[in-house]
Structures are given as C-alpha cells and as structure tokens.
Structure 1
Amino acid sequence: MNTTINERVLALVADKAEVPQARLSLDSTLEDIGLDSLHLMEIALWAQKEYGVVIAEGELHHEQTLAEALALLDARTGATA
C-alpha cells in the first residue's frame, strides 16, 4: 500500500465524515464511518483529479470496509504493496 496516498485518503474520509482521523478503523464499513453516496462520489472525483484514475459509479460502496476502499485506490493508482 502506498502510505502517502492512504494518508491523503484517510484525511479526506475523516473530513467528509466529520470525525477525527484517529477514530477511523480500517475494519469499519464506509457506511459505519458515516459516508453517504455523495461522499463516495466526491472521493471518486478527488481520485480522478489527483491521480487521473477513474472510479466507476458503484465501485466504492457502503458495504466496503475502509481497508477495501484503500486497496481499490491503491490498485488504480498503481501503488505497490
């Protein structure tokens, strides 16, 4: 996993969910964190703007854990574990 990308995504998720980053758990679903469909779309648009990757509608979804969402973004940006 790319630590820099993950840190930026975690900061963005915390901001969107309006929770301290320290309270985020990688095992929590995006819904448990408090993200709605608009937040997920904003994260996808951010990834496109920042890294030039396209996250299709539905690829980020409420049932995903934060770890799964990070793995998806890592894979799309070409980050290596």
Structure 2
Amino acid sequence: MDTTVNTRVVELVAAKAELPVAELGLERTFEDIGLDSLHLMEIALWMQKEYGVVIPEGDLRHDQPLGEALAYLDAKTR
C-alpha cells in the first residue's frame, strides 16, 4: 500500500470522526468511529479531487473496516 495515500486518508478520517489518529484501529468500521453516509461521500469526493479517482457510491460502507477501505482506496490510486 502507498503509505502516503493511506496516511492522508487516515488523517482525513480522523478529522471527520473528530478523533486522534491513534484511536483509529484498522479493524474499526466507519460506523464504529461515528461516520455516516455524508462523511463517506465526502471521503469519496476528496479522493476524486486529490487523486482523480472515482469512488462509486456504495463502495465505502458503514460496516467496512478501515483497513479494508484503505486497501480499496490504495488500489484505486494505482
């Protein structure tokens, strides 16, 4: 995985969840950390602006572990 992409995504997720990065475990889901569908859309739009990749609606899910989402997003940037 590209650690730069992952670091930036984790920082964004932490900011959206209003949590320190240290509290975001890779096994925690978006729902566990308090993110809703609007937050997931914002993350998808940010990925499009930053990396030029389209994240289809529904590809990021509330029940998705952060580690799985990071792997998916990393793959989209390659």
TM range (shorter): over 0.9
1:33, CA displacement in angstroms?
A: 1.1
Q: Distance in 2 between matches of 1:67 and 1:40?
A: 15
Q: What is the aligned partner in structure 2 of residue 62 from structure 1?
A: 62
Q: What is the aligned partner in structure 1 of residue 46 from structure 2?
A: 46
1:12, CA displacement in angstroms?
A: 0.1
Q: Distance in 1 between matches of 2:72 and 2:35?
A: 17
Give the alignment's TM-score, normalised by structure 2.
0.98
- 5+ residue gaps, structure 1, are none
RMSD: 0.5
**Deviating 4+ runs (over 2 angstroms):** none
Percent identical: 71
SS in 1 for 2:32: helix
1:3, CA displacement in angstroms?
A: 0.4
Q: What is the aligned partner in structure 2 of residue 75 from structure 1?
A: 75
Matched residue pairs, number?
78
- 5+ residue gaps, structure 2, are none
In proportion to residue count, which structure has more helix? Answer: 1
Q: Distance in 2 between matches of 1:75 and 1:6?
A: 11
**What is the letter of the counterpart of residue 69 of structure 1?**
A
What are the Cα deviations for residues 21-80 of structure 1, in whole angstroms up to 9, with x where unaligned?
1110000011001110000000000000000000000000001000011011001001xx
